[in-house]
């Protein structure tokens, strides 16, 4: 894992001191709320419905055991004993006081963490593949580039007051587990004809009120030139992005307005002034960063995840392995996905005691490393297959053994109106109702891969547009209703879902989703996932379900 150097630590410590002073001045009245609000947002502190919410950055979703323990300590000491892992691989604490916020940031700095770039119109915390470094299909570990981007973008003087927030996602594998086509910039690693690794650069994707699948602006940029190319994109956006209307200010609006061809021309012209400058990442610099992400010392073992499942002594254990453990690039090891989607568990929430246990388990079974997924689950990336029974038993005893990763009850949901000041409708109760409806894990496995995403408003924090089944909460004259879409996906074949029918109340939404699943089971062809069936037949058969339920 990346370890701070003295520059990193000094920067973060200075930021804590600055924010402590800013909070003191706010509490004394020296700063008004209007003056203070942008300062607190730059430090991840929001004022939500019931309290302050602190969003803590987890760069590219990688955590050490020590960092997880600190998150547990913060949850216990400053919050109500739990935290919420988000769809941007961060964690949010929901019950923070303003007076204690600087102390929390100071505690975070002791484990090389912070809340920078989790809010405001800057380049936000870079997200990545939660299986980075361990996925069998990976070309190179994308976290090396993600860390370079972190260093480049942190407090970048030119890009601290962009027209709007800016999100970058990066994957090093052909299978896109980072949703790169729905980010302002998405980076997807390829090799060129000479075998050199570089990035396809995708621009202008995003969700929210104007969902757009990003377009490839350049099919291949060598790693050495990536920063200069991204800087050129940022400069064009910073120059031409709208600032008069926050709803028209994202880069996707600019790309759509002038067209990808003109946008590309502007970027290329800017790039000619930037490439072959100090923005080039020298091979030795790249190598120095890469050294932080060197693989751990794996034992020489044999065996596959499938063999581990087939050989499991317990049927429940076998089911968990099949659902939650993914193949690893090193024989005899597996990638363990820990579901935070147990029945009645708010999606993405973990208690302090669960976090402490996960830290212990990571140290004992996963070389001290944990990942956060944009699907609001956690990952232990380096587990010996022979340790799976003991690890599963420990997770199961702590309420973390739900065998549903990637299945119908692995629902992605934003905090919704139960917490969020922007939301129009609640997300968590609907997610819980659906989880209860699909609690039968045998049936869930029979249904197979199916992603349900629930957002409580058009800002789409739960990425409902790219859910196989997407659900958007709306407020119609004070009544919570839910608009359903079908056919969205965030993988390498990213697509936006299509609306099926009018918005319905929550109880009908549950019946509707159950009907969609029944329709799928009735018409699917052998080996076809839900999303494949929707792609093959369209939404018409599902709309008939809608009419039957009306």
Partner 1 sequence: MARKLRADAPRVVTANRLLDGVVVYRTAAGTWSPHLARALVVGSDPAVEALLAVCERDVAGCEVVGLDVIEVRPDALAARGDGPRAITQREAIRATGPTIALPVDRPVTRPASLP
Q: Which is nearer to partner 1, 56 or 201 (CB)?
A: 56
Residue of 24, 27, 288, 550 interacting with partner 1 (CB under 8 A): 27
Please report whether residue 96 would count as binding partner 1 according to CB under 8 A.
yes
Beta carbon nearer to partner 1, 279 or 452: 452
Site for partner 1 in 56-75 (CB under 8 A): 75
d(CA 463, CA 472): 9
| Residue 50 is a binding residue for partner 1 (CB under 8 A) | yes
82 makes contact with partner 1 (CB under 8 A): yes
Least separation in angstroms between CB 339 and partner 1: 15
Place of tokens 């579901």: 339
Rounded alpha-carbon distances, angstroms, from residue 303 to 75, 310, 326, 329, 404: 39, 11, 13, 12, 23
Taken as a whole, the chain contains a residue count of 550
CA distance 130 to 370: 9
- For the CB of residue 36, give the shortest distance to partner 1 in the complex, in Å: 9
What are the CA-CA distances from residue 73 to residues 27, 113, 185, 366, 537 (Å)? 25, 14, 34, 21, 50
Decide: is 388 part of the binding site for partner 1 (CB under 8 A): no
Instruction: State the DSSP H helix or E strand holding residue 285, giving kind and residue range, or none if neither.
Output: helix 283-292
Q: Which is nearer to partner 1, 116 or 357 (CB)?
A: 357
Residue 29 found at the interface with partner 1 (CB under 8 A): yes
Least CB distance to partner 1 at residue 86 (A): 15
Supply 241's token pair: 């992005």
Q: Is 472 in the site for partner 1 (CB under 8 A)?
A: no
The one among 202, 233, 357, 405 contacting partner 1 by CB under 8 A: 357
Under the criterion CB under 8 A, does residue 426 sit at the interface with partner 1? yes
Q: Is 433 in the site for partner 1 (CB under 8 A)?
A: no
Per-residue binding string, partner 1, 262-301, x by CB under 8 A, is ----------------------------------------
Regarding 394 and contact with partner 1 (CB under 8 A), the answer is yes
Nearest to 12 by CA among 131, 225, 155, 177: 155
Contact window for partner 1 (CB under 8 A) among 125-133, 183-191, 428-436, 515-523: 428-436
Contact predicate 352/371, CB 8 Å: no
Whether the CB-CB separation of 362 and 68 falls below 8 Å is answered with yes
Distance of closest approach, residue 351 Cβ to partner 1, in angstroms: 4
Q: Which of 10, 14, 35, 99 binds partner 1 (CB under 8 A)?
A: 99
Instruction: Confirm or reject binding of residue 51 to partner 1 (CB under 8 A).
Output: yes
Does 237 bind partner 1 (CB under 8 A)? Our answer is: no
Sheet of strand 498-499: strand arrangement = 412-413, 452-455, 469-476, 479-486, 498-499
Does 26 help bind partner 1 (rule: CB under 8 A)? Answer: yes
* R_g over Cα of the chain: 23
Sign of CA dihedral 326, 327, 329, 335: positive
Residue 48 within binding range of partner 1, rule CB under 8 A: yes
* Inter-residue contact 523 to 517 (CB < 8 Å): no
Q: 431 with 347: CB under 8 angstroms?
A: yes
Sequence-distant (6+) residues with CB within 8 A of 548 are 515
Candidate residues 327, 399, 501, 515; the one interacting with partner 1 per rule CB under 8 A: 399
Point out which span in 152-160, 236-244, 352-360, 513-521 binds partner 1 (CB under 8 A): 352-360
Under rule CB under 8 A, residue 98 binds partner 1: yes
Check binding of 475 to partner 1 (CB under 8 A): yes
Min dist. Cβ of residue 486 to partner 1 (A): 27
Per-residue x/- mask for partner 1, residues 140 to 179, rule CB under 8 A?
Answer: ----------------------------------------
Question: Structure tokens of 228?
Answer: 């200069």
Q: Euclidean distance between the first and final Cα of the chain, in Å? A: 53
> Quick one: 71 or 135, whose CB is closer to partner 1?
71
Does the footprint of partner 1 cover residue 254 (CB under 8 A)? no
d(CA 420, CA 297): 43
- Please calculate the CA angle 515-517-523 and round it to the nearest 5 degrees: 105
Rounded Cα distance, 244 and 256, in Å:
17
Report the candidate in 238, 242, 241, 223 with the shortest Cα–Cα distance to residue 270: 238
Binding footprint of partner 1, residue count (CB under 8 A): 54
Contacts to partner 1 from residues 480-539, by CB under 8 A: 480
User: Under 8 Å CB-to-CB from 304, ≥6 apart: which residues?
Assistant: 327, 331, 385
What tokens were used for 240? 């031409």
Chain contacts with partner 1 (rule: CB under 8 A): 26-29, 33, 47-52, 75-76, 80-82, 96-99, 344-346, 349-354, 356-357, 360-361, 364, 390, 393-394, 397-399, 417-419, 422-426, 428-429, 432, 475, 478, 480
């Amino acid at each position: 894992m990346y370890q701070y150097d003295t520059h990193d630590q000094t920067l973060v410590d200075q930021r804590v001191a600055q924010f402590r002073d800013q909070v003191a001045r706010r509490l004394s009245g020296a700063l008004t709320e209007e003056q203070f609000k942008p300062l607190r947002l730059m430090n991840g502190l929001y004022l939500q419905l019931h309290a302050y919410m602190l969003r803590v950055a987890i760069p590219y979703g990688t955590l050490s055991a020590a960092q997880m323990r600190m998150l547990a300590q913060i949850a216990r000491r400053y919050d109500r004993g739990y935290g919420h892992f988000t769809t941007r691989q961060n964690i949010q604490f929901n019950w923070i006081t303003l007076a204690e916020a600087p102390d929390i940031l100071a505690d975070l700095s002791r484990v090389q963490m912070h809340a920078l770039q989790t809010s405001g119109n800057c380049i936000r915390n870079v997200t990545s593949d939660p299986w980075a470094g361990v996925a069998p299909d990976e070309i190179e570990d994308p976290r090396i580039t993600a860390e370079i981007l972190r260093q480049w973008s942190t407090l970048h003087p030119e890009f601290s007051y962009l027209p709007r927030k800016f999100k970058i996602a990066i994957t090093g594998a052909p299978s896109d587990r980072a949703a790169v086509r729905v980010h302002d910039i998405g980076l997807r690693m390829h090799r060129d004809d000479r075998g050199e690794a570089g990035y396809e650069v995708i621009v202008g994707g995003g969700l929210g009120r104007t969902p757009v699948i990003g377009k490839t602006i350049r099919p291949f940029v060598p790693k050495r030139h990536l920063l200069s190319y991204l800087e050129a994109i940022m400069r064009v956006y910073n120059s031409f992005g709208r600032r008069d209307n926050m709803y028209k200010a994202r880069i996707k609006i600019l790309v759509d307005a002038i067209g990808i061809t003109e946008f590309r021309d502007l970027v290329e012209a800017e790039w000619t002034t930037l490439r072959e400058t100090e923005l080039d990442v020298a091979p030795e610099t790249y190598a120095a960063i890469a050294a932080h992400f060197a693989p751990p010392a794996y034992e020489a073992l044999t065996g596959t995840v499938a063999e581990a499942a087939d050989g499991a002594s317990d049927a429940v254990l076998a089911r968990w392995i099949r659902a939650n453990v993914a193949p690893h690039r090193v024989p005899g090891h597996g990638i363990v996905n820990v579901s935070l989607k147990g029945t009645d568990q708010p999606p993405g929430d973990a208690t302090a005691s669960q976090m402490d246990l996960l830290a212990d388990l990571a140290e004992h079974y996963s070389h001290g490393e944990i990942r956060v997924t944009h699907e609001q689950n956690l990952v232990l990336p380096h587990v010996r297959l022979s340790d799976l029974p003991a690890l599963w038993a420990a997770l199961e005893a702590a309420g973390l053994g739900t065998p549903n990763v990637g299945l119908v009850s692995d629902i992605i949901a934003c905090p919704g109106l139960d917490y969020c000041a922007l939301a129009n409708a609640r997300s968590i109760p609907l997610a819980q109702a659906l989880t209860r409806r699909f609690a039968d894990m045998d049936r869930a496995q029979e249904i197979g891969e199916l992603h349900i995403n629930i957002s409580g408003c058009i800002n789409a924090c739960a990425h409902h547009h790219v859910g196989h089944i997407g659900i958007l909460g709306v407020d119609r004259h004070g009544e919570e209703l839910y608009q359903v879409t079908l056919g969205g996906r965030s993988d390498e074949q990213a697509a936006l879902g299509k609306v099926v029918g009018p918005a319905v109340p929550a109880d009908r939404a549950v019946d509707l989703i159950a009907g969609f699943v029944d329709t799928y089971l009735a018409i699917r062809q052998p080996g076809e996932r839900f999303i494949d069936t929707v792609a093959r037949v369209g939404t018409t058969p599902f709309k008939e379900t809608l009419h039957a339920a009306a």
